[in-house]
Chains A and B, each alone.
Chain A
Amino acid sequence: MSSYSAMQERKGKGVLYKFISYIPLLLLTVIIVIPVGWAFTASIKENAEFYGSPWALPKGVYLQNFADSWLKANMGDYMLNSVLVTAMSIALLLAIALPAAYVLARYRFRGNVLWNTMFMAGLFINVNYIVVPIFLMLNEGDKLSRTFFGQPILLNNMVVLALVYAAMALPFTIYLLAGYFKSLSKEYEEAAAVDGAGHFRTMIQVIMPMARPAIITIILFNFLSFWNEYIISMTLLTKPEFKTLPVGLMNLMAAQKSAVEYGQLYAGLVIVMLPTLLIYILVQKKLTQGMTMGGLKG
């Protein structure tokens, strides 16, 4: 009898625990969803609506904000810049990191340990510390290029920015890919060698297709970090026509303080975050799994 009532009691407690557990979960959900959702509703409000209660729902769907943001505030041009820089960075990163990670993981050669250690040490280099030295280095380079070519070519150059982005992501990408390549069986290369495939063909046709899951994870992570990045971008691309989306958004924020154009600002905000949100919704499982797959990333 007593054990029965103890069980009942525990069951009752369990229900209570469950009920209490939902309170913080729902609270945090609200705290995260409301601000993001609010930005979406704000993006379709007319400017006059911003002087009323911030909690009021939009009176209509005022899409002119998006047109203004896209054209007047140049977010359309910045979008193109962002797409170009992000795509170039990812392409460069993969083209450079994949072969390097492959030979580092699967070939024994002189310098192997040295370079493995170097790239590992690179994991601890943080871009915020070195962005000014990079700027100065490119600035010095531009002084040379002015004397030789008559114009600066390194600063305000999206290809250079893409190279810098690729370099920043290189240590972690190599670390992740090399870990993946190491886990593959040696027999693949042996079989390819028996078939007469050279080193290059073995890498491209045998190993790379097997690395697809790791490659997809890398594309996802770096898409997010390149797309959202603004410190390097605002330091290396100083001319207005080269701004990337987050830098453009920051300008809109600053402009909003004087000429109050709330609608444009929030439309611009939605333009910046929509691509990342869409991709996240499509692949959220891969992303949170990938985060724990490569160990940790700051």
Chain B
Amino acid sequence: MPSTSGRSRFIFFCLAPAVVLFVVFLFIPSIDVFRMSLYKWGGYTDTKTFVGLNNFSKLFQSEKFYQVFQNSILLIVVVTIITFALALLFAALLSRGKLKGTNGYRVVFYIPNILSVVVISAIFSAIYDPSNGLLNSILQLFRVIDEPVLWLGDQKIVIYSLAGAMIWQAVGYYMVMYMASMANIPESLYESANLEGASPAHQFFTITIPLIWTNIRTTLTFFIISTINMSFLFVTAMTSGGPDGATEVFLSYMYKEAYTNSSYGYGMAIGVVVFLFSFALAGILNAVTKRDHLEY
């Protein structure tokens, strides 16, 4: 039997690298976000002044932040609702439809998820191009529009164009997730519903949805967190927040202030607010969607 000191040495050497990496690159920077939000620290000077909650009060008085807040909320709502509905619909079609080529569709629908957001942004920039983009040329062919639409140039439209790209990217991911939990519903439930003559749509709302409710609730939290993150990635690669701040979102604003403008303290205050906000929103959604747990 190996000795006890050998055992603890073994445990130490197995664990130490992971702990060091975790503490240095995850734990300390996370604490730093909160700590730095209380300091005024800008530019390339070394002077850090403790200013308490000053950064936060400045933030809440800034009109820019309200624009950013609106944009982010709009994206969270639009992207979540549409992605959720489409992912559920396609998951139900592929799991319950008894159709041919189910696996093929699943493979294709998941493709956007493996592409880099930069790649998707480049493709969608080509789709949205006003003069020779794919979208405008179809719409003009069918005479839906006469004048080319500035998908990325019009302040009122650009946020929806962004949402379109984000939905395109996300549907397959959530679909696969819903398919996995639909696969656990026992077939006998549907068989008896069939005998009673319930339509597929009726079965979807009375059997499928209630039985994957736990999974749906989990994904709602995911939608909030990932929309906040993904919108940052898309904005960085596609619009840089423009035109005129029309697509500036939570984290792109934070990154701009903290990194590009070197207002570290102010930037981190944005990070703290966004973090707390997403936490609160997820908590509220979780409470609102609480149902009695169904067994099957």
Contacts and interface: CB of A to CB of B under 8 A. Distances in A.
Is the pairing of A and B real?
yes
Contacts of A100: 14-15, 17-19
Contacts of A205: none
Contacts, number: 253
Contacts of B212: none
Interface stretch (A22-30, A144-152, A210-218): A22-30
Interface string B1-27: 110001110110111011101101111
Given A133-B29, A277-B114, A115 B10 contact: no
B186 interface: no
Counting chain A CB atoms within 10 Å of each CB, the highest count among B11, B13, B33 belongs to: B11
A166 B21 contact: yes
A22 B254 CA distance: 44
A246 B116 contact: yes
Interface stretch (B61-69, B122-130, B143-151): B122-130
Interface string A12-49: 01000110011011001101111110110010000000
Counting chain B CB atoms within 10 Å of each CB, the highest count among A33, A163, A253 belongs to: A253
B32 A137 contact: yes
B36 A103 contact: no
Contacts of A137: 28-29, 32
Contact of B32 (A130, A163, A249): A130
A296 B222 contact: yes
Interface SS, A side: helix
Contact of A118 (B22, B133, B199, B232): B22
A102 B236 CA distance: 38
Interface in A44-91: 50-55
Contacts of B125: 253
Nearest to A29: B108
A64 B177 CA distance: 41
Nearest to B103: A285
B122 A249 contact: yes
A284 B110 contact: yes
A4 interface: no
Interface string B110-145: 111011111101111111010011100100000000
A263 interface: no
Nearest to B258: A132
B200 interface: yes
B8 to A, nearest CB: 7
B171 interface: yes
B255 A298 contact: no
Contacts of A176: none
10 contacts: A25-B99, A28-B105, A50-B132, A97-B18, A99-B17, A100-B14, A109-B11, A163-B21, A228-B116, A253-B122
Interface of B: 1-2, 6-8, 10-11, 13-15, 17-19, 21-22, 24-30, 32-33, 36, 86, 89-90, 93-94, 97-99, 105-112, 114-119, 121-127, 129, 132-134, 137, 168, 171-173, 176-177, 180, 197, 199-200, 218-219, 222, 225-226, 229, 232-233, 236-237, 251, 254-255, 258-259, 264, 267-268, 271, 274-275
Interface of A: 6, 10, 13, 17-18, 21-22, 24-25, 28-29, 31-36, 38-39, 42, 50-55, 95-97, 99-100, 102-104, 107, 109, 115, 118-119, 122, 125-126, 128-137, 163-164, 166-168, 170-171, 174, 193, 198-200, 203, 224, 227-231, 235, 246-247, 249-250, 253, 265-266, 269, 272-273, 276-277, 280, 284, 287-288, 291-292, 296, 298
Q: Closest 5 CB pairs between A and B?
A: A228-B116, A100-B18, A167-B25, A99-B14, A130-B29
